[in-house]
Structure 1
Amino acid sequence: MTEHHFPLSQERLAALRRLFHQHPETGMAEFWTTARLAEELEAFGLSPVAGDAVTAPEARMGVPSPEVMRDALQRAEAEGASRAWLERMNGTTGLVVDLRPDLPLGTVLRFDIDAVSVQESASPEHRPTKEGFASLHDGLCHACGHDGHMAVGLGLAAALAPLRAELKHNVRLLFQPGEEGCRGARAMTSAGWLNRARHFLAAHIGMWADQDHALVCGARGFLATTKFDVEFRGRAAHAGAEPEKGANSLLAAASAALNMHALPRHGQGDSRITVGMLEAGSGRNIIPDHARMVCETRGATTAVNNYMFEHCRAIIEHTAAMYEQACSVRLMGGSDSADSDDSLRRVVREAARAVPWFHEELIRDSAPGFGSDDACVHMAAVQKQGGDAAYFMLGSRLAAGHHAPDFDFNEDVLSPSVELLTRVTLALDRA
């Protein structure tokens, strides 16, 4: 493979990563990020699609409040986002770009674009702080490597753009919003972007490939998950004079939380339930008339996760009846379980042999999934229609664990990752 195939240098890739790192945005509100990605892709002669077509409206989950979306849009414009692209988004973030839309769809690759709700470390030893590219936004940080993923995605687009005439199949790049909380993939899949795809690829910096020169060719055993919020609405009353006239939402929520955690584990695989937050009441002398829980289930398979979620829903509804509550359960995100296919893991391993960064003794065929990732929704969709899919992990030493305030990775992994993805994509196109 010649240098011609890699027009973005390591230095340019690192600069792009740092630019995205400075402008983190929460999932489904990545307005500045989407606009900047679109401008970069246009510079390669490509025609990205933005706006309502990117995600199916009925399948969007966990969209922030109108106030959060408005503030994010205003901030993006203040920070120089293209007004033309902001208008084309029409309130919906994320991008899709086809290399050869005139050809049958071959390979689809996913690059996640959102940040996490973490306050970045201000320690002078933290490299983004020390070198002047730390997050500009309080409470938001690219503490999971998605800034690097976007740089790699742009590097791949730049590498493939000059080769479009040689492609036998269309290659589609998804710059997906809302990976954190598993919110964005199902809405993209529901919009049809994976229909008739032969192959699907996703990659993540670090995870179980947490040393330089390592590579995991295909993760297995991601947990399926459902994210949901619960609200109980009861009746307030004077806690001293007329407590019998109240309907206590706090007790309802506490009872539901205890009983959900008491669900029997599933015999066909790991199952989990977490009530991560419970808010209720308004004062010590008032029977609480409202309560809110933020919850998730997980399962080794989609069926196990569905078992957990449906039993949680039943507990919530029956508890509401017992405590005289109105209740609602709102889906906020979710993903399937998925395993990487052996066929693609072999292609990844073979391509890695030609990329000096990846050392043979540090290349593993598989590793467990790292919790849940909604790329599994894309994987399952492609596998269901007869295609194959792989999720691989790109080796880099990490300054701290994913989602930690002082997370950082070795930027030297960026250029080799572009080369690996380019080689894998071209090998699949020619197969």
Structure 2
Amino acid sequence: MKDDIARLAAETEGRLVARRRDLHRYPETAWTEFRTASLVAGALAAAGYEVRLGGEAVRRESMLGVPPAGELEAHMERAAGQGGDPSLIGRMAGGLTGVVGELKCGEGPVVALRFDMDANDMDEARDDAHRPHREGFGSVNPGAMHACGHDGHVAIGLGVAEVLAAIRDRLKGTVRLIFQPGEEGVRGAGPMVDAGALDGVDYLLGGHIGFQARKTGQLVCGTDKFLATTKFDVHFTGVPAHAGAAPEQGRNALLTAACAALNLHAIPRHGQGGSRITVGILNAGQGRNIIPPNALLKAESRGETTEINDYVYSCARDVVAGAARMYGVDYSITEAGRSVSGGSDPGLAARVRRIAEGMPFFRPSWIVDSVDLRGSEDFAVMLAEVRRQGGAGTYVMIGSDLASGHHSFHFDFDERSLVPGVELFVRCVLDCMALPTRVRG
């Protein structure tokens, strides 16, 4: 079977590259992945998977940071015009763009793999030094770019689906492939967990191209110290007035937001671990001679543990409330995303290492047991749910030479990493299926 897997994975190479480039050309940001999700659902169904999408895959009530209804409808129309399946797109109305594919192969563990689908909110470089532009697969969608490799993740996920379907008679257990929207902004995992995507899962695998594995042939087998985070928007509402004739009649929302921004960054650090607070956007005012009646502040808190993040976010809410009282303005806080802290199971990461050491692509001296993420990823929400049920999970990083850093408008990765990604995940599924069931019975 070992040689069969390597051969089957290698046979997907042309399709992997073509899919990756197609997805790169048509990127979709959080909760608007209608084309991507419809193509994923169609491919899974064609391969023999039971497919859940729409409200069966995403709990609407748990969604955060969802675009307005009109914007979602426009993205649905665009997706259909760019080759998405209209019948499947219609089932995802409202941004319900998660997809779950399941392959049931008798008694045995439930092994889940998660692949994120969304792009970044940014424009892609349009110069000949940038390979996607030079070779004709750069983004055609304004304000959206696959600058983090999720196009490669989806391509790998569909390659895994194809290979596992080809060897399904050798599988013992259930494979569950989770294609997640809204990883950017940590929005998509929670609603999929709440919809039951992780129910009964014994072993969970996820991962990323590049990030802290920036050499083709490198592999990180486990990831620790996912930072918990809360993304939040604050709307301040004051009172406009003539800035020269009657400034005392106004209530200045701009000064309120500025006061809050400064004092948010003055929140004391936590003694039990790392903490972060960042104001990333502050928009305010209507004209130079008008007391500003409105302001929008977008910020995030982070913590090395969920408890530390909760402390920072609680302090942030107090700071915002205090600034509003000082200037006599109203305010509202809306959460736009959240994730918890966590890390990989060392035992499962060790099994990934053993598998990778048997694959010629990964250089033995470049296989790393574990790294600290030092950032946030809502895969941690899925890890926490599987661990709560008694299961285990790990998050790998597949090495790739990068043209530029993640979230850069020149980002691109080495497509030679796609086939080994498929082979590695397929071998991990087979390895996990030989382990005891942990969650049920």
Q: TM-score with structure 2 length normalisation?
A: 0.95
SS of structure 2 residue aligned to 1:232: strand
Look up the SS of the partner of 1:107 in the other structure. Answer: strand
- Give the superposition deviation at 1:86: 1.2
Q: Distance in 1 between matches of 2:169 and 2:196?
A: 25
Matches of 1:90 and 1:271 in 2, distance apart?
A: 37
Indicate the residue corresponding to 1:346 in structure 2: 350
CA drift of 1:80 comes to 2.0
What is the one-letter code of the residue matched to 1:6? A
Q: CA RMSD in A?
A: 1.4
| 3-state SS, counterpart of residue 297 of structure 1 | strand
How much has 1:10 moved relative to structure 2? 1.1
- Separation in 2, partners of 1:6, 1:146: 19
Alignment of 1:30-45 (within 5 A): 30-45=33-48
SS in 2 for 1:152: helix
Please tell me the residue identity of whatever aligns with 2:259.
Answer: S
Kindly indicate whether the alpha-carbon contact (under 8 Å) linking 1:23 and 1:137 is maintained by their aligned counterparts in 2: yes
Equivalent residue number for residue 60 of structure 1: 63
Asked if structure 2 preserves the Cα contact closer than 8 Å seen for 1:5 and 1:160, the reply is: no
SS at match of 2:279: strand
The reply on whether 1:163 has 2:164 as its aligned counterpart is no
Residues in 1 aligned to 2:110 and 2:11: alpha-carbon distance in whole angstroms:
24
Paired residue for 2:404?
A: 400
Q: CA offset at residue 165 of structure 1?
A: 3.5
Q: Which moved more, 1:139-148 or 1:366-375?
A: 366-375
Instruction: Report what 2:330 is aligned to.
Output: 326
For 2:374 and 2:113, how far apart are their aligned partners in 1? 19
1:26 is aligned with what amino acid?
T
Q: 1:218 matched to which residue of 2? A: 222
Structure 2: how far apart are the matches of 1:7 and 1:55?
A: 33
Other-structure match for 1:294: 298
Instruction: Give the whole-Å Cα distance in 1 for the aligned partners of 2:211 and 2:66.
Output: 26
The residue matched to 1:48 in structure 2 has which SS?
strand
3-state DSSP class of the match of 1:170? strand
Deviation of the 1:361 alpha carbon: 0.6
Query: Of 85, 88, 91, which aligns to 2:88?
Result: 85
Q: Quote the Cα distance in structure 2 between the aligned partners of 1:370 and 1:414.
A: 25
Structure-2 separation of matches of 1:293 and 1:399: 33
Residue 149 of structure 1: which of 147, 153, 172 is its match? 153
Note the alpha carbon deviations across 1:243-276, whole angstroms, 9 max, x for none.
1111111111111111110000000111110110
More displaced stretch, 298-307 vs 97-106:
97-106
Partner of 2:75: 72
Task: Give the Cα separation in 1 of the matches to 2:374 and 2:263.
Answer: 27
Please report how far the alpha carbon of residue 193 of structure 1 lies from its aligned counterpart in structure 2 after TM superposition.
1.3
Question: 1:238-257 to 2 correspondence within 5 Å?
Answer: 238-257=242-261
Deviation sequence 1:74-131 (CA, Å, 0-9, x none): 1111112111111222331120011118756621111000000121111212111111
Contact 1:208 1:370 in 2 (8 A): no
Contiguous gaps of at least 5 residues in structure 2 = 436-441
Cα contact 1:235–1:287 (8 A) shared by 2: yes
Taking the aligned partners of 1:188 and 1:132, their CA distance within structure 2 comes to: 34
Structure 1: distance between partners of 2:12 and 2:285:
56
Residue in 2 that maps onto 1:106: 110
Distance in structure 1 (CA, Å) of the matches to 2:403 and 2:163: 29
Residues 207 and 370, structure 1, Cα contact 8 Å, conserved in 2? no
Matching residue of 1:385 = 389
Partner amino acid, structure 2, of 1:81 = G
Aligned residue type for 2:18: A
| Structure 1, unaligned runs of 5 or more | none
Deviations 1:203-254, CA, capped at 9 Å, x for gaps: 1000111001000000111211110100011111111111111111111111
Q: Distance in 1 between matches of 2:300 and 2:93?
A: 30
Return the match for 2:427 from 417, 423, 431.
423
CA contact (8 A) 1:7 1:159 kept: no
Deviation at 1:386, TM superposition (A): 1.6
Q: Using a 3 Å threshold, how does the CA distance of structure 1 residues 101 and 29 change in structure 2: closer, same or farther?
A: farther
Q: 1:367 and 2:377 equivalent?
A: no
Q: Secondary structure at the match of 1:422?
A: helix
What is the aligned partner in structure 1 of residue 123 from structure 2?
Answer: 119
Task: Determine the C-alpha separation between the residues in 2 that align with 1:16 and 1:156.
Answer: 13
Contact 2:105–2:169 under 8 Å retained in 1? no
Distance 2:302 2:14 in 1: 40
Distance change >3 Å, CA 104–CA 306, structure 1 → 2: farther
1:396-425 deviation digits (Å, cap 9, x = unpaired): 100000010111110001001100000011
Moved over 6 A (4+): none
Q: Which amino acid aligns with 1:135?
A: S
Matched, 1:304 2:282: no
Task: Give the secondary structure class of the aligned counterpart of 1:284.
Answer: coil
Counterparts of 1:120 and 1:113, CA distance in 2: 17
Conserved in 2, the CA contact under 8 Å of 1:105 and 1:172?
A: no
Identify which of 184, 187, 201 aligns with 1:180.
184
> Hey, what does 1:414 align to over in structure 2?
418
Question: Per-residue deviation at 1:195?
Answer: 2.0
Contact 1:32 1:77 survives alignment (8 Å): yes
- Count of residues in correspondence between the two structures: 431
